[in-house]
A and B are shown apart, each in its own frame.
Chain A
């Protein structure tokens, strides 16, 4: 069922904003078993694409002393085994793996994952309040939420939780004053200028506008997290009936 959700799609062009991408990636130690390769110091898609490109190269190279590569907004953290290589040796090896990244990197190779969402009702108890705050109708909020393509900058906070960029300011809304004690897995929410999907049941203060029947995290899958850093996400509105059908297929 997973493949069905993934469709090829043209990647949007990202305008030049004059962001501060480091001329050369900067490596620095993080304790005695890790190092950080930084590509810039702000949240920006061009920087994140360099993170993704380097991460792909490191995963492919799979240097013997490296244990794990963790991509985030602006950097890749490499965990290594100091019994197999010194910090200096590793810096030299990694330097060779990630050298000569193209000056322009775009996400044209990025995978787009389509996430069906049943908006409003019991699944999206805060859709009305998000609409009211922005002088929109609930349908307009849904339309705006569905029209953007959202880059997955990184996965963190909880298993399979995507940090998404690219939400329209026209539907932003502050967190709830009192967080809910239980938010069901699959809930789609808005917090400030961010949107996201809760992969597992957890407490949380995001305003919920809908729910997806897709399992964003499933430990029995080969890749438990549906989304990976570097993916693009599109939300599509589906009816309760379609939601239930997909849910049965996912089970």
Chain B
């Protein structure tokens, strides 16, 4: 595959570099992990195979060989030769096709998977790109125009799907397969983002605690894969304490001295010394990752049991794609 245009930011990601926080290494990985898992499962990969995380529009990718692909996550307008493609569905593409990602109509990051996975070297057990340290992915950097991407060997199911699709191809250079995730919006929290109070929640005064669950915050333009800064009410009462540095997690809401909360995300540091007032529940991290600068975010408190229940629900949705039988390909 050849990158004709990289768009705003495109990186190779899998589900992250797990187990190295004790050595100071961020997990990285797909910001919306469930979308990458779904894309991988749709094309017959293991759910943790490497794919592309495509932020905002402008990406164009050319296929030198036929492939089975899936694009999940943000609702981009996708097209091959001007003909619209659906997301959350496995698609057979002929060699020479160019897939175009434009105008994210909803969400901010799309996940591209190809049968066989993106083949880059494994670094510390993962193919994820960690931009800050220049680790993993393609030479530790975002993709550029002209980059060639190799892919691994497609599994038997994907090979079969490609063969069937190739035979039933109509006039268009692609064919939709029957492998699809229905109602993908089930993976995304539609109401306020759920959190569990953090270790320093009670350090805030009552007014700030109340504001956190009633006010609307905005994703600041100074937001990236390391974290989202939230503008709106400043949580001033959280400051002033001398804290000893401790481990922080993806989804930890920290409040630096300025009072502007930060939701830490995939490329965050591993430890921090600012008050940790809240922890976004795992089930809602995908919804947060799909917010773009300027979007609004609200929070609501839940119990650990409720968070685990929400996680089981999301896992069941992704689980619908596991071990799914191949279905007959259909023409677009």
A156 and B133 within 8 A (CB): no
* B95-153 interface with A by 8 A CB criterion: 123-124, 132-133, 135
Closest to A75 in B: B246
Residues of B within 8 A of A86 (CB): 308
- A32, A36, A55: residue with the most chain B Cβ atoms closer than 10 Å: A32
Chain A interface mostly helix, strand, loop or mixed? loop
Instruction: Tell me whether A146 is interfacial, beta carbon within 8 Å.
Output: no
Additional A-B contacts beyond A83-B312, A158-B132 (17; CB < 8 A): A31-B195, A31-B251, A31-B279, A31-B282, A32-B279, A32-B281, A34-B279, A70-B270, A77-B249, A82-B308, A82-B311, A83-B308, A155-B24, A156-B270, A159-B23, A159-B24, A225-B24
Instruction: Tell me whether B252 is interfacial, beta carbon within 8 Å.
Output: yes
Closest to A202 in B: B132
Residues of B within 8 A of A75 (CB): 246-247
Of A69, A157, A200, the contact of B271 (CB 8 Å cutoff): A157
Residues of A within 8 A of B249 (CB): 30-31, 33-34, 77, 79
Assign chain A's interface to a size class.
35 or more
- A31, A72, A73, A83: residue with the most chain B Cβ atoms closer than 10 Å: A31
A32 and B23 within 8 A (CB): no
Chain A, residues 64-87, CB within 8 Å of chain B (1/0): the string is 000111111111010100110011
- Asked, given contacts A83-B311, A156-B269, A158-B133, whether A30 binds B198 with beta carbons under 8 Å apart, the answer is yes
* Distance of B132 from chain A, by nearest CB (Å): 8
A83 and B269 within 8 A (CB): no
Chain B interface mostly helix, strand, loop or mixed? mixed
B18 and A68 within 8 A (CB): yes
Residues of A within 8 A of B135 (CB): 159, 219
Of B23, B280, B315, the contact of A223 (CB 8 Å cutoff): B23
Closest 9 CB pairs of A and B: A31-B279, A156-B271, A32-B307, A225-B23, A77-B247, A70-B247, A155-B24, A82-B308, A70-B21
A31 and B246 within 8 A (CB): no
* Distance of B158 from chain A, by nearest CB (Å): 27
- Asked, given contacts A31-B196, A219-B123, A219-B135, whether A72 binds B246 with beta carbons under 8 Å apart, the answer is yes
Bound-state CA distance A68–B280 (Å) is 19
Residues of A within 8 A of B252 (CB): 30-31
A31 and B280 within 8 A (CB): yes
Bound-state CA distance A221–B288 (Å) is 34
Residues of A within 8 A of B18 (CB): 67-68
* B220-254 interface with A by 8 A CB criterion: 244-247, 249, 251-252
Instruction: Tell me whether B19 is interfacial, beta carbon within 8 Å.
Output: yes
Bound-state CA distance A42–B135 (Å) is 34
- Asked, given contacts A77-B246, A79-B249, A83-B311, whether A159 binds B22 with beta carbons under 8 Å apart, the answer is no
Bound-state CA distance A161–B199 (Å) is 25
* B176-216 interface with A by 8 A CB criterion: 195-196, 198-199
A224 and B23 within 8 A (CB): yes
Residues of A within 8 A of B307 (CB): 31-32, 82
Residues of A within 8 A of B22 (CB): 55, 68-71, 155, 228-229
* Distance of B85 from chain A, by nearest CB (Å): 33
Instruction: Tell me whether B328 is interfacial, beta carbon within 8 Å.
Output: no
A160 and B304 within 8 A (CB): no
B25 and A159 within 8 A (CB): yes
Bound-state CA distance A238–B280 (Å) is 49
Bound-state CA distance A68–B196 (Å) is 20
Instruction: Tell me whether A134 is interfacial, beta carbon within 8 Å.
Output: no
B23 and A154 within 8 A (CB): no
Chain A, residues 219-240, CB within 8 Å of chain B (1/0): the string is 1100111001100000000000
Of A68, A158, A161, A217, the contact of B21 (CB 8 Å cutoff): A68
A-B contact pairs, 13 of them (CB 8 A): A30-B249, A31-B196, A31-B282, A31-B307, A77-B249, A83-B315, A155-B23, A159-B135, A160-B23, A160-B25, A199-B24, A217-B23, A223-B23
Closest to A71 in B: B22
Closest to B280 in A: A31
Closest to B135 in A: A219
Residues of B within 8 A of A179 (CB): none
Residues of B within 8 A of A12 (CB): none
Closest to A83 in B: B315
Chain B, residues 268-283, CB within 8 Å of chain A (1/0): the string is 0111000010011110
B198 and A72 within 8 A (CB): no
Of B19, B133, B195, the contact of A200 (CB 8 Å cutoff): B133
